[in-house]
Structure formats: C-alpha cells, structure tokens
Amino acid sequence: MPFYEWRRSKHESVPMAEKADFIALRLSPLRTQKAHTMQKQRVFSGIQPSGNLTVGNYLGALKNWVAIQKEYENYFCIVDLHAITVPQDPKILRQKIREVAAIYFAVGLDPEHCVIFRQSKVPEHTELAWLLNCIARFGELSRMTQFKDKTQKGGADSASAGLFDYPVLMAADVLLYNAHLVPVGDDQRQHLELMRTLARRFNHTYGETFVVPEAMIPPTGARVMGLDDPTMKMSKSSPAPAHYVAILDEPDTIRKKIRRAKTDSGSGITATDDKPAIRNLLDIYSAMSGKTISALEAEYEGKGYGDLKKDLGEVVVEGLAPIRTRALELLDDPGELDSILDSGAERAKKVASSILRDAQTKMGVD
C-alpha cells in the first residue's frame, strides 16, 4: 500500500496513531486548506536530523505540534542545513533526514494541516540568511550562549563559521514565512530574541517587511532531562546511549535504559527539588500516561524506585510502540518519503519566494 494510507495491518496496537487522527497523508494540493488557514496565525518550527530523536523530542515538541496542527497554519521543517554546522557523515545524514520525516508522520503530523519539508530544498532560506547577515552585528552573535557552550571543548578557533552564524539562518527560517509564533524551549529563547531584533531592525531600516515573531508557549509539555544526568536536558546527540530513550529504540532497550536510570538518595518517590532524578522520571511518566504528578506520588507512596522504573518502562514502551511501528513501515519506502518532502518544499517555496523578493526589493538587490 502507499505509505501515506493508514490502515490496520498485522500491527493491531495503534491507539496513538488513531488518537492523532493519522488516517491519511494525501499528496494532492489542498485547495480547501487555503480558505481555512487564511486567518490562522503561522507557526514555524524544526528539528535537526542529527542523533536520534528521543522521548524528550516527542514530549517536548512533537506531541504539541500534533495538538496544534489544526488550529494554526504550520510549517514544520527538517533543518538539515543546521545539522552540517558540525561534521556529518553524508550517508548517515541522508538516513537521518528520512528517519526524522518518518517520525514526523508517525506521531500524527498530517500534510493536510501542515507543510512538512527539508530546509535545504528551499534555497530561499540561505538567500534570506545572507540578507540578514548584512544587518546582524558581530557582537550580537558573539553573545550567543549556545555557541559558547558548544565550543567549550574544542575552542572557538576550531568551530565552523556556520556554527557561529547559525542563529541568523534560524532567524531566516522563521522570518521567511512571516511566522507569528515559534515554539521554543528555554535554551532557544536567546535565538528568538535575536530574530525579533533582526526583524525590527530590517523593518526600521527598509520599511515594514517582516512579522516580529512571538514565543509560543505550548499548553502542555515536558522538559525531559537525561536519564544519566537529571541536571542536563535530554539530548538526541549525546554520545552516551544511556542518556536518552530514542523513539525508535527496541522495547527491551527502553526497559533496560529506564531500569538503569540514575536515582536520588533516599527512598521516597516525590517530585521535589532535592530529588531531580526521581522528579524527571515522574515528569516522563506523567506526560506519557496523562496522570498528574500528585496522583503518581500517591500511587507510589511506600513503594521503591524499582517499582517506579518497572512501571515507567512499560508506559514508555506502550506509548512509543505505535509510533515506532509506523515509522519503520514508512522507512521501508524511502522514495515515497522523499516525494512527500519534495511536495512540502514546493508548497513552502510559494510563500518563501514572495517574502524573499519583497526583502530583496527593499534592499535594492531585486
């Protein structure tokens, strides 16, 4: 069957997909969508195709994207140009791009309600980035804390110019679609402020051109920390597999990772500041199951950490199973995945090219 047609097959456990209304992914142009989305605010967000998408990416971003996809005009991108600011194996990168796409669709993102595409297939992103480079300030980029964090080990002298400059490309990603809202975590707020500054500066210098985007605070979400270090946000690029639970991990691997997750001293199962590791496990449990933290604390009163980890492992396995199954099915037909991404890129270009031309005209380089 075409990969974008949903049906029950031999895999019967599909509650997550059904809940997300992942019934069909149609490739035909959506004429009726224009009428319905003209008054909707635009949302832009993206994920780099590096490392392995984790339960943190699911709970902190993807799950929320699915929840809002019918309420906004959405542009969800695979930001592969950001990925190459550090060295990548080309063969693995191509594989990871398709993997991210498959997960996007498997969690329930539907091309009827959002434009899903590869950043590198819309060259307007890099063209606008150069225009914005010419109004950005070196000092502004020098103050970006993420650049400082990422160059702590190797030093700034060994970092690529792309790594230093990628906040400008990130600004271009958003401003190119005149997005009103950008879902961001705490670690990206500084970059959002830079894109707001660049939009205002361009508008002041050349005339009203760009929407000044706002941060989008999701109605629900979880900041998932590392299983091996609850003081660090779970990273899909961590070299330590024990740090994260990947969406495509085997069920037994998930159970094993959670069973070995770091815990705190003492024995009480409470989400308190002196128990960051247990609080992280409870946050994941709550986000995956829908149970409140207080309800979980009551449920595990008098029980041990082993009981919590055993149950949490099953909750995570059950929650990710239909996503993993569907993603692997989609990856069996990479040609179809590439086709739907190309279709999304064509839709994105129609908006991006118009806004880029306006900016070029304002600057006198049309």
User: What topology is assigned to 249-323 in CATH?
Assistant: Tyrosyl-Transfer RNA Synthetase (1.10.240)
- Report the candidate in 25, 7, 15, 46 with the shortest Cα–Cα distance to residue 110: 25
C-beta separation of 263 from 308 below 8 A? no
pLDDT digits (tens, 9 = 90+) for 268-279: 999 999 999 999
pLDDT digits (tens, 9 = 90+) for 200-239: 999 999 999 999 999 997 655 568 999 999 999 999 989 9
Which of the following is catalytic: 40, 70, 150, 362? 150
Domain with CATH 3.40.50.620 in the chain: 42-222+334-363
Q: Which residues of the chain have pLDDT under 70?
A: 1-38, 148, 150-156, 158, 186, 218-222
pLDDT of residue 220: 58
DSSP symbols for 37-92: HTTSPEEEEEE-SSS--BHHHIIIIIHHHHHHTTTSEEEEEE-HHHHTTS---HHH
pLDDT of residue 301: 95
Domain with CATH 1.10.240.10 in the chain: 249-323
Active-site annotation holds for 236 = yes
Q: What is the DSSP letter of 198?
A: H
Which of the following is catalytic: 63, 96, 121, 236? 236
Active-site annotation holds for 233 = yes
Which of the following is catalytic: 40, 70, 233, 349? 233
Strand partners, 114: 74
User: What topology is assigned to 42-222+334-363 in CATH?
Assistant: Rossmann fold (3.40.50)
